[in-house]
Structure 1
Amino acid sequence: MDVLTHFLVGLHIIGIGALLGGFLTQMKAMGQGTARFVPAMLHGALTMLVTGVALVGVNEAQDHTLNMVKIGIKLAVLVVILGLVYVKRDEERVQAPLFGLVGALTCVNIFIAVLWV
């Protein structure tokens, strides 16, 4: 089971990398008002959702103690990110504050995962 857990964590990190990387590649365009949600951002957020739920399931199956408040907050933040990216994915331009909000929420999700023990 440890191999599966580590594999899922690796995929989860790849998902956050795709989401954050997509945001970072559009930062210059955000300054010019031409930023858009690239497909990598949507796929990264979906990967995070699927692997996060799978990680919770695998850990529950092993009777590990989980911080459900932390998991719930991370899930809520990710659902907001996913909703914004999904709804605005086909638009040629996304408003800079909305685009910046997705980047900020992505960073919040990372820091919750890393700092909340």
Structure 2
Amino acid sequence: MDVLIHLFVGLHIVGIAALLGGFLTQMKAMGRGAARFVPGMLHGALTMLVTGVALVGLNQAEHHHINTIKIGIKLALLIVILGLVYVKRDEEQVEKPLFALVGALTTVNIFIAVLWT
């Protein structure tokens, strides 16, 4: 079961990399006001959601302690990110504050995962 948990952790990291990588590749365009949500950002957020839910289930099956408050906050942030990216995915340009919000929430989500023990 540990191998499966580690596999899903790796896939979760791939999802966050896709989301944050998509944001970082659009930073220059954001400066010009021409940033857009690329498909990799949506796919990364969906990957994070699916693998995160799987990780919670696998860890509960192994009777590991789950910090439900931490997971709830991370899930809430991810749902906001996913909602924004999904709704604005077809627009040619996304407003700077909205695009920056997705990057900030993604970064906050990473720091919650790493620093909250």
TM range (shorter): over 0.9
Give 3-state SS (helix, strand or coil) of 1:74's partner: helix
Q: Does 1:6 align with 2:6?
A: yes
Deviations 1:52-84 (A, max 9, x none): 000000000011111000000000000000000
**Structure 2 gap ranges (5+):** none
Paired letter, 2:80: V
Name the residue aligned to 1:77: 77
Distance 2:35 2:12 in 1: 25
Give 3-state SS (helix, strand or coil) of 2:35's partner: coil
Q: How does 1:1-117 map to 2 (within 5 A)?
A: 1-117=1-117
**Structure 1 gap ranges (5+):** none
Paired letter, 2:25: T
Q: CA deviation at 1:86?
A: 0.1
Q: CA deviation at 1:99?
A: 0.1
How many equivalent pairs are there?
Answer: 117
Q: CA deviation at 1:15?
A: 0.1
Give 3-state SS (helix, strand or coil) of 2:65's partner: coil
Paired letter, 1:63: H
Paired letter, 2:41: M
Q: Percent identity?
A: 79
Following TM superposition, the consecutive aligned residue runs of length 4 or more in structure 1 with deviations greater than 6 angstroms are none
Cα RMSD (Å): 0.2
Distance 1:61 1:3 in 2: 14
Deviations 1:19-75 (A, max 9, x none): 000000000000000000000000000000000000000000011111000000000
